[in-house]
Amino acid sequence: MGEAVALGIRQRLLISHLFAVVVLAGAFGAFVYASAERQLIERLRIQLAETAGGVARALDPHLVAAADGDATARAALAAALANEARNHADIDHIDVVRERDGARVVVASSATDAAPAARAGDLGALAPLPGGAGYAVDLAMRRGEVGEKLYILRLSAALAFLVCVLVALLLSRHLAGRIIARITDLTARCRALANGEPLPPRRPGPHDELDDLAREFDAMAGRLRHAAASREQAAAALREANASLESRVRERTAELEAANAKLKAEIEQRLHVEALLAEAAMTDPLTGLLNRRAQMEMLEQAAQRLKPGEPGLSIILVDLDHFKQLNDRYGHSAGDRVLTTVAARLRDLCGGAQAHCVARWGGEEFLVLLPGVRLAAACKRAEELRREVAALRIDRIAQVTASFGVAELVGGESLDACLKRCDQALYRAKEAGRDAVVAAQGALFATMS
């Protein structure tokens, strides 16, 4: 959507005055027009009634009575009616009618053709003939006569409405011009005050709200100039004090920066040493995995967070098969390569959020902590690890295999009891021929591979 069009004061005044004139003058004009229309119709009805009465009085009753049954008399009566119609330019036709059997029958008419049976919408009048006998004069105004008079009335009303609108526009333009001139003068004074220039002379005008605003602005401008002069004096004194203070601050800052740089270097060196010591205290130096003490702390924290009914945590103990024989046959350097290779593989396989849950538990043993993992899923993970370790090929060393013991710590069970069951599962995997996964659930053990 585009931006809304901003209207100025002149446009707003013109629109507001025009709206007021259109609404008020329109409503008043409609009321006056309706009243005038009713009065015009009423005067025409009265005029027609008087004309009908005059025609009724001018007709010969004997001729009317004879015309009801004689064609010659009817023709004479029609000629008389036509003569009366010509004497009244606004009359369309004149009929002599009679009530017969509840219906109105035309006896004679001024019209050359047969009178219409109904004249709905025509303005007419009915006057009885003197002497009774049930005869009456029925006349109708010429078609279009009322419309012409109403058209002139509407044209006059529209012209009066346009005159009102024009006068309102002229008045609003004049009023807007005076207001805008006062506002323009105030704007020029504001601009002069903002630019630090002398205020222009104020235009004379009537004493109104805008004049009060201009006077208050002049008073405020005077106070602002006085305050500005006072601030300038204070600023000059402050600049002198700041210049002296900045000199002393620069000297002191240089001394502090030198001391801070020296202190920062000492702190960074100390933090680096502390970080190295902390890492050394938590990390196995050969494999780079967590050591037993760090992993034990993680186990205790995970066990404390465990609540009854929630998924427990599972533990996998990994022990390399025949590691002593491997050391004796290939040497300790080859054994170290096996440990580092297996450790790296376990860490890669337990990547993501569980990468820090792999630790060297001691010697050729590793421990994998699986928080929030149930026993079945842990056994599946252990089987994957077993296959991956068996697939490793390390230099000229024969195939390396490992045995796996799996146990789940559930709510209410001690950590030592769970570790003991996991160790027993590992022992059973060794007895089962190694390169196997054994799960411990309560007092039961199951070989998974």
Which residue of the set 37, 255, 364, 413 is catalytic? 364
d(CA 144, CA 146) in angstroms, rounded, equals: 6
90 touches 142 (CB < 8 A): yes
Write the CB contacts of 104 (distance below 8 Å, at least 6 apart in sequence).
Answer: 97, 98, 138
220 to 193, 225, 228, 329: CA distances (angstroms): 10, 9, 12, 102
215 to 186, 219, 221: CA distances (angstroms): 10, 6, 10
d(CA 73, CA 100) in angstroms, rounded, equals: 19
150 touches 37 (CB < 8 A): yes
Give the E-state strand segments of 258-364 in sequence order: 313-320, 358-362
User: Sign of the CA dihedral 8, 14, 17, 19?
Assistant: negative
Write the CB contacts of 293 (distance below 8 Å, at least 6 apart in sequence).
Answer: 281, 282
86 touches 159 (CB < 8 A): no
In the annotation, is 364 catalytic?
Answer: yes
User: In terms of DSSP bridges, do strands 402-409 and 437-441 run parallel, antiparallel, or are they unpaired?
Assistant: parallel
Q: Which residue numbers are catalytic?
A: 364
